[in-house]
Each structure stands twice: as structure tokens, then as C-alpha cells.
Structure 1
Amino acid sequence: MSDYERIRLVILGGAGVGKSCIVKRFLTNSYTDKYRSTVEDLYNREYDLGTVTLKVDILDTAGDMQFPAMRRLSIATAHAFLLVYASTSAASFESIKRCFEEIREQRADFQEIPIVVAGNKFDLATSHREVRIEDVSEWVYCELPKLRVKVLECSAKDDYNIKEIFRSFVTLSRILPQGQDDGSGTSGLKRRSSAYVSTSKGQRRTQSPNDSTVSGRDRGSSSSTSTSADTNSSLSEPRSKPRSRSLIRRSSRKAKQQIRDAQSNSDECIVS
């Protein structure tokens, strides 16, 4: 039975920015202009990556602050965050700033959590833009350095950059693509969890050091093992060399003694 990993993605942002529209466009490729206030909706999806099944829970939260306990719980249990604002609303950008402050207050590991900041309603930005992506990037990369974060704009209505949002989480979560990507963001992915590492270590032990498929990390470990062996060998040589020289000296002395004895016997024979 294949191993599996479950990841919870929590979507935060103000009311009416299109959080639910992004999720529905991604999951069902559908869109509606009708607005319905969200309390909390949970979606799930599975991806078969070969050696592991990736189970993704997508939690769509309320855009207002009527349920603070639910909000705190969702932040505490998240593995990744999608912060959504509307490019046509400066107030929505201020809202995701407050969302991030909540994350920073509740999660000591906030710098290690994958975060995507998405500006929705890009289809209206040409005529009604209030938030420039340069301002968002400046806030993220200048005021909040050392984060695992990506900034982009999208449109749930036009299906622009929607898949790229979720593909970004794959990269930020260090589920790295190996080989070609089939466009779904799940082709040839390599999991970097502790379970995967333990399995891959067992596989490395069965590989030959000369195997051409060994990765750079494996080659590094092989070279370090070889260096260690050479070091041990060089350390053992000084103990063996004196032993060899002493044997040579004893053999030499014995041979010389035999020669002297033979000469002495020869002289004795001549005298007699």
C-alpha cells in the first residue's frame, strides 16, 4: 500500500475578493458572478505521485471576523496559506496584512510555512486598479524577508494564473518536480518529507557507488565516505610501517649472523 501525505491549505482574505471563486475555478473549472458569503468550506483532492499519494485539504474561510475561534484554529492547523486580495481594492490589501500579522503571532514557524499572495480580479485591473503588484512585492520582500512566499496576480473569471497559484505551493512546499511537467503540477514530483528521506536512504544503500543515476547529494556522500576511508587507511599506516621495518631489521641481523657463522665454520675447517 502506498504511503500518503496530507497537507492543509488555508485561504485567508477579506470579504468579496474571490477566494471561493479561485477554489471552484481550480477544482471544477467553473465560475459564477453570484456572491455568497462563506462561513467555512472544506474541499479535498488527491494526487497520485507514484510512491506517495498527496492528499490536499483546501479550507476556504470567512472573509469577515465574525468567527475568531474558527479563524485561530484554521491558522494553527495550516501547512500553507493562500492570502487573497483584490487588485481593485486597497482595503483588501490591508486586510491580508492583518491576516499575516495573525499568522506571525500564532505560528512561531511562520518563516517556514509556504505562502502565496494572490491579487485576484486582474481582469478588472486595467480600469479599476487600486493595488499595484510592485507595492505588494515591496511589502513582502522588503518588509517581510526570509519567507517562503510567492506573489502573483490572477483572475478566477478569466482562469488566469489559477493553476499557477497551486503549482507554486508544490514548489514552496519542496515537493520538487523531477523531469517534465505535464501541466498539472504533479508530474514526476519528489516528496521531501521525513518518510521519503528514510525510504530513499534505504535505496541509496543498495546502489552501487558507480551508478550513473546517483544524485549530487549521493555523490557527495559517496565522496565523503571514500575520504573517510582513505583517512582511516592513512592513519593506520604509521602503526604498520614500524612493524614491517622491525621485521626487516631482524631478518637482516639473522642473515648476517648466519654469514658470520658460516665464515667461522669455514675458518675452523681450514685450520684443522
Structure 2
Amino acid sequence: MNNNNTTMGENERIRLVVLGGAGVGKSCIVRRFLNNTYSDKYRSTVEDLYSREYDLGHMTLKVDILDTAGDMQFPAMRRLSIATAHAFLLVYATTSSPSFAAIKQCFEEIREQRPDFKEIPIVVAGNKQDLASTHREVQIEDVSEWIFCDLPKLRAKVLECSAKSDFNVRDIFRTFLTLSKIMPKPGDDTTGGLKRRSSAYVSATSKGKNRAPSPAEGRPNHLAASSTSEGLGGEAKAKPRSRSLIRRSSRKTKQQMRDAQSNSEDCNVQ
């Protein structure tokens, strides 16, 4: 994987690998995001790969989501998934202290195998937030202290979610785009979420545009990229920007610079 930041082309494929202990709800999060479905029935995962395509207006993003096993029975598959990932989702359960220890072990495996681990977008998600009020065993402050104080500076974000109640699930995947600089920060996202690419939408938006050819097959660069798109799934605007919009964009840029400066502190608990 190339460690240099590059601008993503019009068509790009990325791989998100989901890691965590057994029974924390990794598959439930993925299915809630992709299909908006949820089931209480537990089925042990060996390895499931989901592929989707999204139109972000300025580019087509092809996403492979690899849902891995929660136990350690398949070490070779686990090493391969870590080696080929462009981003990681580390899932623990807010109701299980051992599950927090499990993602710490997952991170150590990433650090051992990936010299570029500091540049890889990582989201740490505490699932089962709907049960946290009565069964909480892991405080989000402890997770944040581990990520932002105990470890080297990472391109990471911590949040809690619930696959069952559909709380913060889409925010997990939006966060990957902001961490990778494909999209602006969440406060600048004005379109409300990811939008699946349909053939009708593609034919309408590609009219009169000279689209670049698909990139050569093979593993692409990591997620780091820059973009000026204003939202996920939003169609590119052809109209000139108004002065008021330019002023607002200028204020957003200054705010992002201030945020970047504040994030450079040694211990940034989010």
C-alpha cells in the first residue's frame, strides 16, 4: 500500500475490514448499514464480503466491506484481511469488558503487520448502546483515553452505536470518508447520507461528461485523498456559486484549520 497521499480518481475501490470479538454485533452493523435490517439471531461469521458502489458526485466509490470472524480460529485469513485493508472498523460491545480487550488485541495485530498503521483510517465503535444504560461495562471515556492518549497519534475516531435501534450506524461509515479526507467533516455534510449508485442516476449525471477510464485492476492506494464535494451522494452542481456561499465556505475552511490545530495536541480525547 502506498503511503503517499494521492487524489482519488473518478472511479476507486476501497476495502473496509471489520474486526472485533465474537458476538459484539459486527455483522449486525454491516447489515443495518447495507440493507437496513436487524436480527437478534446469532450466527458465527467465518468471512463475508459485501461490495457496493456509491456515487459521491465528484467520483464513484466502490466499497468492499469484509466482515471477519470474531474468534481466532482462522489466523491466516485474519492476517490476509489486515494486510489488504484500506480502513478498519474495530467493534466492541459497551456491555462487555472482554470485547474491549479484544479490539486492543486487534489493534496490536494491525500495528505489527502494517508499518503505515498511523495513516490508516480507523473507527472504534461501541455497539449495543441501547443496553448501555442498564448493562454498561465499558465507558467511552476509557476507550477515548486508550486511542488518543495511550497510543501513537492515529487517524481514528471513537463513537457508540446500536445496530438494533439504528443509532449512529450511518455515522460510522460517513466518518471513514471524513477521516480519509474524501469528504468534508460531518458538520459540512448537507445531503444527509450515502447514496447508492443507480444506472438511471449514472446515465443522467454522466451526460456530456468525459469520464476517466476505470483504474487498472489491483489493490489501490489507501483512502487518504482530498475533495471539495459538499456531501455524500450529492449530485455535482453546475450553477455558479453565490457570494454568500463563498463566504460560508471560507468560514468553514478557517474552522477546519482551527480544528486541525486543536487536534495536534498530544492527548486529544474525543
Superposition TM-score, scaled by structure 1 size: 0.67
Q: Give 1:186 deviation, angstroms.
A: 6.3
Q: Give 1:27 deviation, angstroms.
A: 0.5
Larger Rg: 1
For residues 1-272 of structure 1, the aligned pairs below 5 Å read 3-177=10-184, 180-185=189-194, 193=225
Instruction: State how far apart, in whole Å, the 2-side matches of 1:140 and 1:192 are.
Output: 20
Runs of 5+ unmatched residues, structure 2: 1-8, 197-222, 229-245, 251-270
Which amino acid in structure 2 is aligned with residue 86 of structure 1?
A
Asked if structure 1 preserves the Cα contact closer than 8 Å seen for 2:181 and 2:224, the reply is yes
Q: Give 1:144 deviation, angstroms.
A: 1.1
Which SS does the other structure have where 1:181 is aligned?
coil
Q: Give 1:52 deviation, angstroms.
A: 1.9
Asked if structure 2 preserves the Cα contact closer than 8 Å seen for 1:170 and 1:185, the reply is no
Instruction: State how far apart, in whole Å, the 2-side matches of 1:161 and 1:127 are.
Output: 19
Identify the residue that residue 259 of structure 2 maps to in structure 1. none
Q: Give 1:176 deviation, angstroms.
A: 2.2
String of CA shifts for 1:92-114, please: whole Å, max 9, x gaps: 00000000000000000000000
Instruction: State how far apart, in whole Å, the 2-side matches of 1:37 and 1:16 are.
Output: 8
Asked if structure 1 preserves the Cα contact closer than 8 Å seen for 2:180 and 2:225, the reply is no
String of CA shifts for 1:74-99, please: whole Å, max 9, x gaps: 00000000000000000000000000
Instruction: State how far apart, in whole Å, the 2-side matches of 1:185 and 1:25 are.
Output: 13
Which SS does the other structure have where 1:165 is aligned?
helix
CA pair 180-174 structure 1, distance change in 2 beyond 3 A: closer
Instruction: State how far apart, in whole Å, the 2-side matches of 1:3 and 1:146 are.
Output: 30
Aligned length: 196
Superposition TM-score, scaled by structure 2 size: 0.68
Asked if structure 2 preserves the Cα contact closer than 8 Å seen for 1:13 and 1:92, the reply is yes
CA pair 58-185 structure 1, distance change in 2 beyond 3 A: same
Which amino acid in structure 1 is aligned with residue 192 of structure 2?
G
Root-mean-square deviation over aligned CA pairs:
2.4
CA pair 192-151 structure 1, distance change in 2 beyond 3 A: closer
Identify the residue that residue 232 of structure 2 maps to in structure 1. none
- Structure with the larger RCO, 1 or 2 (CA within 8 Å, 6+ apart): 2
Which SS does the other structure have where 2:63 is aligned?
strand
Asked if structure 2 preserves the Cα contact closer than 8 Å seen for 1:81 and 1:115, the reply is yes
Percent sequence identity is 73
Asked if structure 1 preserves the Cα contact closer than 8 Å seen for 2:156 and 2:179, the reply is yes
CA pair 3-62 structure 1, distance change in 2 beyond 3 A: same
Which amino acid in structure 1 is aligned with residue 156 of structure 2?
V
CA pair 156-72 structure 1, distance change in 2 beyond 3 A: same
Which SS does the other structure have where 1:176 is aligned?
coil
Which amino acid in structure 1 is aligned with residue 48 of structure 2?
D
Q: Give 1:146 deviation, angstroms.
A: 1.1
Which SS does the other structure have where 1:55 is aligned?
strand
Q: Give 1:182 deviation, angstroms.
A: 1.0
